[in-house]
A and B are shown apart, each in its own frame.
Chain A
Amino acid sequence: MKSLKFILPLVVFVVLVGFLAAGLKLDPREVPSPLIGKPAPGFALTRLDDAGKTIRREDMLGKVWMLNVWASWCAACRDEHPHLVAFARTKVMPVVGLNYKDTRPDGLGWLARFGDPYDASLFDQDGRVGIDFGVYGVPETFIIDKQGVIRFKQIGPVTPAIIETRIMPLLKELNG
């Protein structure tokens, strides 16, 4: 009886600390996407650099590719950008941009200034394709497999660590 009186609060305390420690590591801004493991939503958007050329979801089937949501007004995209440029240089997978709620001159000017890692950028002026992809915080990055299924989503900037630990292993698995 006496020992229970001592142990019980200790157990409660340890459990509480466990919850709080786990809570510290969680980022409330990172909401798990329900789209992972589901087919990527259909889209048909014109290229940022060519309003006459349309890219559709079907055009990307058959390869593992990266969709990176960016905008010239997005400050975090600027931090992410050098890593993307470096990643695109390795040419391990096509990198497609989704220029989200931007204007063509702003978007193109931004790419001219900071470098263009994208095989193509889709121009999503009113953000509708963004909504279909569940985008709520730019930058966001999706990895989409050969069958057009979303396999990974990064909310916030892609870092070299994420490329190394998440994206490259996934790519190996999807190509293997």
Chain B
Amino acid sequence: MARWIALLLLATCLVAGAKEAEPAAADPALEASMLRVAAELRCLVCQNQTIADSHSGLAEDLRREVREQLKRGASDEQVIQYMTDRYGDFVRYRPAFKATTAVLWIGPGVLLLVGIGVLAIVLRRRTRMAPELFEPDEDEANDGAAPGPTRGATP
């Protein structure tokens, strides 16, 4: 029984695979540039894939659109602009830097700087603290070699 189910599943995989295969590209160079542009564009149906990766109907249509526009001599930028005009900045994996996307670009850097700043302040404050405020290192406390502060020293 299980074997039959497995066979059936395998068969469906084959059928599905056969259906999704795209016609071989007539022009490999064009196909390569199409994929280069498509890899810059987000598929809005399956949002964490590029339209180069996605098998959704929309991604197929958009790949066709990219291919045809490149064939007509459009530049990569023109094609990406065409998509941005229709679907917004969100389709670009690397959105243009402008007022509405500034937080996106600068935000992580600012957060990193804030983090480093806080760390620096904390560390500096610690260097100024009296040594008694710290727990002694275990080895120092045990062998007593270091003349550091000892609390509850072992006899």
Contact = CB atoms under 8 A, between A and B. Distances in A.
Interface of A: 28-29, 31-35, 101, 126-128, 130-134, 136-137
29 contacts: A29-B47, A31-B44, A31-B87, A31-B88, A32-B88, A32-B90, A33-B88, A34-B84, A34-B85, A34-B87, A34-B89, A35-B86, A101-B57, A126-B61, A127-B57, A127-B58, A127-B61, A128-B65, A130-B61, A131-B61, A131-B62, A131-B65, A132-B86, A133-B86, A134-B87, A136-B44, A136-B45, A136-B87, A137-B44
A133 B84 CA distance: 12
Nearest to A137: B45
Q: Which among B62, B86, B89 has the highest number of chain A CB atoms within 10 Å? A: B86
Nearest to A127: B61
Q: Which among B45, B58, B62, B65 has the highest number of chain A CB atoms within 10 Å? A: B58
Interface in B63-100: 65, 84-90
Contacts of B87: 31, 33-34, 134, 136
A33 B90 CA distance: 10
A32 to B, nearest CB: 6
Nearest to B56: A136
